[in-house]
């Protein structure tokens, strides 16, 4: 599907800016995006096509891409904790998330990079599978040890302290794209 068609379909189904004021509104936008793109397919794969979009469409693309980047990362943390990003994600997924955060959220990128260093023992496997699949029966918590786990927990607390501001930026960027 062509990027312009994707954005048109998402635009046609997404609520107005006044309806998206918090995380539940963003959740609705994510649901629509997944319905159009497919579950877990990222807009970043269309980055090259986005370069040629008209200004207003580009703002929408950027806002949705930003939303997707922080949504998946913060949702993974909320569901299973920061460490799960590194034992449930393939190395490809992890690098994609890191790249997206580097583009869209410097604060989360910094925390992600710090956590990745502490979780590096979990990333020594084929790039297209995750730690759990590559190492059945091996406990990722035991592999990392108490010191790395404590550092990852501290980083998760730091991420939690900026969660509200992160969602506020996503809402603001979405609103700006619809104006």
Give burial (CB, 10 Å; 0-12/13-18/19+) of 40: exposed
- What is the reported pLDDT for 142? 95
Average pLDDT along the chain, 179 residues, taken 10 residues at a time: 88 75 83 87 88 92 91 90 94 91 93 96 89 94 96 97 92 86
CB neighbour burial string for 96-130, b if at least 16 within 10 angstroms, e if fewer:
bbbebbeebbeebbebbeebbebbeebbeeeeeeb
The domain limits of the chain are 3-178
Phi, psi of 147 (to 5 degrees): -65, -50
């Amino acid at each position: 599907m062509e990027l312009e068609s994707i954005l048109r379909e998402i635009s046609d189904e997404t609520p107005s800016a006044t309806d998206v004021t918090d995380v539940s509104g963003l959740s609705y936008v994510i649901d629509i995006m997944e319905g159009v793109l497919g579950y877990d397919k990222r807009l970043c794969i269309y980055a090259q096509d986005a370069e040629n979009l008209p200004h207003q469409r580009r703002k929408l693309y950027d806002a949705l891409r930003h939303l997707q980047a922080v949504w998946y990362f913060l949702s993974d943390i909320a569901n299973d904790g920061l460490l799960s990003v590194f034992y449930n994600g393939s190395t490809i997924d992890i690098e994609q998330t890191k790249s997206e955060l580097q583009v869209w959220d410097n604060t989360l990128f910094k925390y992600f990079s710090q956590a990745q260093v502490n979780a590096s023992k979990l990333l020594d496997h084929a790039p297209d599978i995750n730690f759990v699949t590559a190492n059945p029966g091996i406990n990722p918590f035991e592999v990392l040890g108490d010191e790395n786990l404590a550092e990852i927990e501290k980083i998760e607390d730091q991420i939690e302290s900026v969660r509200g501001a992160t969602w506020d930026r996503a809402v603001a960027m979405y609103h700006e794209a619809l104006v």
